[in-house]
Structure 1
Amino acid sequence: MDTKKVASELVELLGGKENVISATHCATRLRIVLNDDDKPNQQAIEELDGVKGVFSASGQFQVIFGTGLVNKVYGEFVSMTGVGSNASEEGEKQVNHSDAVKKKMNPFARLARTLSNIFVPIIPAIVASGLLMGLLGMMTAFEWVSPDSPWILFLDMFSSAAFIILPVLIGFSAAKEFGANPYLGAVLGGIMTHPVLLNPWMLTDAVPESVVFLGMNVELLGYQGTVIPILLVVYIMSKIEKGLRKIVPNAIDLLVVPFITVMLTGFIAMLFVGPLGTWLGNGLTWSLDFIYNTAGVFAGLIFGGLYSTIVITGVHHSFHAIEAALIADLGVNFLLPIWAMANVAQGGAGLAVFFLTKNKKVKEIALPASFSAFLGITEPVIFGVNLRFMRPFIGAAIGGALGGAYVVFTNVFVNAYGLTGIPMIAIAAPFGTANIINYLIGMLIALAGAFIATWILGLKEDTTKK
């Protein structure tokens, strides 16, 4: 494939490089912010060599190329338009893609995008911890080594570290997102997890000491493993830091701004925001736990059926914050298995399209895109196949609802977030063989349900593309 030619044709069909504000890419998609969203010739772009689908969401015009190919096209696209992270300073457009995206979003979408930008970079650490916990659980359950073995000691350290210092990780990432100094954000996370404070993540039965400060009784309780408190604290820190930089002379900025920022925000965190954030976080966890245990199968039906629709909006990445809070407070993530059913169902519907369609190009896209969904990457099959004909997307919603109901009914849990589909088996393993078996049965129900529903609904290939 001539990626330079594809990129050149894409620029032209987007309305020229003057219509491009910024661009970036993820694992499968080229994501572009445009001046005028009505200029692109979407139907012509869908016919370009290598393009697996086109859609607009979250303030971005997104073109699906697939893993590997998107990197090559992006490189050519950047050189032609002068945008993106590789743009030079010589006459090219220096626009922050995240800021450009947010300007085109409503307040709710901006909040979701902000949470996504904070938590997505942390996913590798959480996934690694979940897998290490799984390995530790198997070594203990199957007695591969003695309970007092150094293996158990070290793996316990390795698996719990990310959750113990989670406020530090979030503090660094959130400060970057809020436009503050990320190292000051990490320091605030360190203050909230200081060894002087009782670690509630490791010592749940212990009672914290308290001190009287300025007439207030302050519990020396740490925030290890928490999410909402550090988010609130770093947001306040970013406002304080930015405000100080406007009034403090440049000559003493390095001495004054970090000093006042850390001291002032530290007191605010320990006296007010930290306890409030903990209360809010516990309330959110309690509410979700109540819905899960009360609505049961019905909750699985609704969440499993609607999740893929939420994916279209891009809001789903903000769920990582909720999942992290569940793991910190309850030790389990009961939402991810439901999301996984919706993803697998999209693959089942795409597989049905592969057998139903007579369009050769659709067949070429449908099969690999379906297997990609089974591995947890659903954008190619959603936007390149199922939404294109709509009925398969409805069939996938049916399969996702059935699978979601089953995993809720059988109480399937995982200990991390960020993995779905087949790879999620690894983070379901710590909860036993029955947990894995029920997860696999749920996957089968979701896949078969979506395949059968799509087959019954049929395929109208002459449907006008929208």
Structure 2
Amino acid sequence: MSYSMIAEEIVGSLGGADNIVSVAHCATRLRVMVADENKIDKKRIEDTEKVKGAFFNSGQYQIIFGTGTVNRVFEAIEGLKLTVANKDQQRKAAEKQGTAFQRAIRTFGDVFVPIIPALVATGLFMGLRGLLMQEEILGLFGLTPETIPQNFVLYTQILTDTAFIFLPALIAWSAARVFGGTPLIGLVLGMMLVSPALPNAWLVASGELDPLMFFGFIPVLGYQGSVIPAFIAGMIGAKLERRIRNIVPEALDLVATPFLTLLIMITASLFVIGPIFHWLELVILSATQFMLDLPFGLSGILIGGFQQIVVMTGVHHIFNLLEIQLLTNTGANEFNAIITAAIAAQGAACLAVGLKTKDTKLKALAMPSSLSAFLGITEPALYGVNLRFFKPFIMGLIGGAVGGFFAVMFGLKATGMAITVIPGALLYLNGQMLGYLAVNAIAIATAFTLTWMFGYSDKMLDK
């Protein structure tokens, strides 16, 4: 079946062009908003060639095709002259759908997802530095930790520290963009929060510097590495900018709007928003650390066992906030290895189905879907195979819990975030590679064995 035929089949299954409000896509999914959900022929969609699953989430009907394929299907749908939309347009159309909690988490995702590539690169730089700083590696070049040229150390610090030093600027920029403000004003506001004129947050935390005290009780300092204060400042700044723009005369807009926005917001950020939400940030960090430090590997069991259920609810972007906080405050990310175990286990369950089944269509679906999971993307395996037969999904959850337990017991800590399983190995070049590989092997072996023995048989195809 050609991509144009697949596009026509999808449109027909969605109730025709008149039922389609808009179409967009991400890395793996076609995201469709429809006028009437009851007109969708869901079984027909799931039986369409190259479709690996479909489900409703965040006000959108999401059809999983996988990387590469989704781009071609989207191009074919564009050729049908339907209404297409970018992700920002769809976000605005869907922002009133779902519960208040779902909308809040979706907003977190809209703000944090665009800055993740910068943090991924930084994490990889940290991993490479950890590898190069090991005595065995230095010995190959006739060096020791004491004889490393300082210029080289400075170079590595530029690579690994810059994104976190200016993290508030990145977050304020993204928040301003999401909440309808001018991104550049948000960027400048975020840069003001880390101005070198302010006492450095990390030096204040270590006791080397004292914060500036205003009115005898308000501590003022820089917010290097902070997340929530920059998010709140960017959000409020965007709303304030729009309010000011509606008030000032058009002739003064270019000068008055950015001037008043930045003046009001940096004052509010340093004296009110910063102190209050930095305290809240520390509370969340302490709660996160408490959860990760639960005895007997309980945190690994709970997170590894339930992480993919959280993915199904669409609120998994909360992990982005927690991982960023851990990286900026401790320099390590304990969530990554646990989440990796959960993802690898679902891939292994899907692989077991693909190898065990004699159904050629299911085999053709399961095998590439498991590979996608081993590269860190579980949706094809999750919605195309494991949830369809349910038992493989449960076996995957068990495998994730077992792998998560060992991730905690081995004390694994990633140098970055957002990449897992095979690509995620690059975050463990700091001497933890063997432990990381062992955790993946344990999660995969557990989920694969349980699925092969108890989780799937071709009799399920008849139900």
Aligned to 1:174: 175
1:117 and 1:156 map into 2 onto residues whose CA distance is 29
Aligned to 1:227: 227
Contact 2:351 2:366 in 1 (8 A): yes
Aligned to 1:137: 130
2:235 and 2:462 map into 1 onto residues whose CA distance is 42
Aligned to 2:441: 444
Residues 95 and 304 of structure 1: CA distance in aligned 2, closer, same or farther (over 3 Å): closer
Query: Aligned runs of 1:81-100 on 2, under 5 Å?
Result: 82-85=82-85, 96-100=89-93
1:373 and 1:72 map into 2 onto residues whose CA distance is 21
1:390 and 1:348 map into 2 onto residues whose CA distance is 14
Aligned to 2:184: 183
Q: Deviations over 1:405-442 (max 9, x none)?
A: 11011111102111011111111222x2xx22111111
Letter in 2 for 1:173: S
Residues 129 and 296 of structure 1: CA distance in aligned 2, closer, same or farther (over 3 Å): farther
1:354 and 1:199 map into 2 onto residues whose CA distance is 54
Structure 2 residue 346 is matched with structure 1 residue 346: yes
Query: Aligned runs of 1:56-95 on 2, under 5 Å?
Result: 56-80=56-80, 82-85=82-85
Contact 1:58 1:313 in 2 (8 A): no
Query: Aligned runs of 1:63-462 on 2, under 5 Å?
Result: 63-80=63-80, 82-85=82-85, 96-141=89-134, 142-143=137-138, 144=141, 146-201=147-202, 204-211=205-212, 213=214, 215-430=215-430, 432=431, 435-459=432-456, 461=458
Displacement, 1:35? Answer: 1.6
Displacement, 1:216? Answer: 4.7
Displacement, 1:225? Answer: 0.9
Letter in 2 for 1:205: S
- Residues paired across the two proteins, number: 455
Displacement, 1:210? Answer: 4.6
Residues 296 and 58 of structure 1: CA distance in aligned 2, closer, same or farther (over 3 Å): farther
SS at match of 1:62: strand
Contact 2:176 2:235 in 1 (8 A): yes
Q: Compute the TM-score of the two structures, normalised by the length of structure 1.
A: 0.93
Q: Deviations over 1:238-287 (max 9, x none)?
A: 22112112222222111111111100010000001111111111111111
Displacement, 1:296? Answer: 4.5
Letter in 1 for 2:69: L
Displacement, 1:397? Answer: 0.4
1:202 and 1:71 map into 2 onto residues whose CA distance is 47
Q: Compute the TM-score of the two structures, normalised by the length of structure 2.
A: 0.93
1:216 and 1:100 map into 2 onto residues whose CA distance is 47
Q: Deviations over 1:153-191 (max 9, x none)?
A: 212111111111111111111111111111111111101
1:363 and 1:212 map into 2 onto residues whose CA distance is 66
Segments of 5+ residues of structure 2 without an aligned counterpart are: none
SS at match of 2:294: helix
1:95 and 1:414 map into 2 onto residues whose CA distance is 31
Displacement, 1:458? Answer: 3.4
SS at match of 2:33: strand
Displacement, 1:326? Answer: 1.0
1:120 and 1:273 map into 2 onto residues whose CA distance is 23
Contact 1:228 1:281 in 2 (8 A): yes
SS at match of 1:96: helix
1:404 and 1:339 map into 2 onto residues whose CA distance is 7
Contact 1:136 1:152 in 2 (8 A): no
SS at match of 1:172: helix
SS at match of 1:56: strand
Contact 1:54 1:63 in 2 (8 A): yes
SS at match of 1:226: coil
Displacement, 1:211? Answer: 4.3
2:88 and 2:210 map into 1 onto residues whose CA distance is 49
RMSD: 2.0
Residues 402 and 209 of structure 1: CA distance in aligned 2, closer, same or farther (over 3 Å): closer
Contact 2:180 2:238 in 1 (8 A): yes
2:250 and 2:296 map into 1 onto residues whose CA distance is 58
Letter in 2 for 1:457: F
Residues 452 and 204 of structure 1: CA distance in aligned 2, closer, same or farther (over 3 Å): same
Contact 1:344 1:446 in 2 (8 A): yes
1:106 and 1:5 map into 2 onto residues whose CA distance is 36
Contact 1:167 1:189 in 2 (8 A): yes
Percent of aligned positions that are identical: 39
Contact 1:164 1:201 in 2 (8 A): no
2:305 and 2:206 map into 1 onto residues whose CA distance is 39
Q: Deviations over 1:341-394 (max 9, x none)?
A: 000001110111012222211100111111111111111111111111111001
Residues 109 and 260 of structure 1: CA distance in aligned 2, closer, same or farther (over 3 Å): same
1:200 and 1:457 map into 2 onto residues whose CA distance is 53
Segments of 5+ residues of structure 1 without an aligned counterpart are: 87-93
SS at match of 1:376: coil
Contact 1:17 1:80 in 2 (8 A): no
Contact 2:220 2:271 in 1 (8 A): no
Aligned to 1:91: none
2:211 and 2:457 map into 1 onto residues whose CA distance is 68
Contact 2:199 2:212 in 1 (8 A): no
Q: Deviations over 1:109-163 (max 9, x none)?
A: 1111111111111111111111111111222212245422533221211111111
Displacement, 1:58? Answer: 2.3
Greater CA drift, 134-143 or 273-282: 134-143
Displacement, 1:198? Answer: 2.2
Greater CA drift, 199-208 or 332-341: 199-208
Displacement, 1:95? Answer: 8.4
2:11 and 2:316 map into 1 onto residues whose CA distance is 29
Contact 1:196 1:220 in 2 (8 A): no
Contact 1:209 1:220 in 2 (8 A): no
Greater CA drift, 455-464 or 225-234: 455-464
Displacement, 1:294? Answer: 2.5
1:8 and 1:201 map into 2 onto residues whose CA distance is 57
1:131 and 1:256 map into 2 onto residues whose CA distance is 42
Q: Deviations over 1:429-456 (max 9, x none)?
A: 22x2xx2211111111110111111123
SS at match of 1:80: coil
1:35 and 1:403 map into 2 onto residues whose CA distance is 43
